[in-house]
Structure 1
Amino acid sequence: MNELSQKSKTDKDAIIKRLRRIEGQVKGIQNMVNQDKYCVDILVQIAAIRSAIDKVGGIILENHIKGCVRNTIEKDNEEKNEKMIDELVTTITKFMK
């Protein structure tokens, strides 16, 4: 998570704020289940959480690409570049699942 420490404190704070909001949404769903709320309403909230967590993941992935990946590629070491690209492809594939 070194890329986040390289980003401004404002960017990092925005990510933490999003994660706290998601945490609140999860707790809200727990309450909805405990209160036997309508299943469709619960599913809508789950979809909102999915979308929010994907957005956070996208921001962190962007930071990784603009941080670690860029720094490695700028060093012009072909072997490290190839490893970094392989890692990036693997990371994106996992993120998309």
Structure 2
Amino acid sequence: MSHLPEHQVKNLVTRINRIEGQVGGIKKMILAEKPYDEIIIQLNSTRAAIQRISKILLEAQADHSLMNVAEGGELEKEMEQLQNVIKQYNKMN
């Protein structure tokens, strides 16, 4: 991820930390035998947060690939990397 600006890395780490908190909260809800619908709401919220991080990374890869090609990078190599990221992103949906 060396192509991400430091502020974006910090943003992603902050998001991951929040997700860790959400998962801990879900665990506590299960142990406290909270209603299933409430637990599922929290699971959906966590999944959405993870998908948002995935989208940010996909966009960063697209930007990185375009910038590298514009600066003389190998088009085929960059396209392959971008396609791999898109494949992984699509597996989440």
TM-score w.r.t. length of structure 1: 0.81
RMSD between aligned alpha carbons?
A: 1.6
1:3 and 1:61 map into 2 onto residues whose CA distance is 12
Structure 1 ranges of 4+ moved more than 6 A = none
Deviation at 1:37, TM superposition (A): 1.0
Q: Which moved more, 1:83-92 or 1:12-21?
A: 83-92
The match for 1:49 among 46, 50, 66 is 46
Deviation at 1:25, TM superposition (A): 0.2
* 2:68 counterpart residue number: 72
CA deviation profile, 1:49-93 (whole Å, cap 9, x unmatched): 1110111111122122212x124312445xx31132122122112
1:75 and 1:20 map into 2 onto residues whose CA distance is 35
2:84 and 2:57 map into 1 onto residues whose CA distance is 15
The match for 2:11 among 11, 14, 26 is 14
* 2:34 counterpart residue number: 37
Structure possessing the higher relative contact order (Cα contacts under 8 Å, 6 or more residues apart): 1
* 1:94 counterpart residue number: 88
Count, aligned residues: 91
Alignment gaps of 5+ in structure 2:
none
1:72 and 1:44 map into 2 onto residues whose CA distance is 41
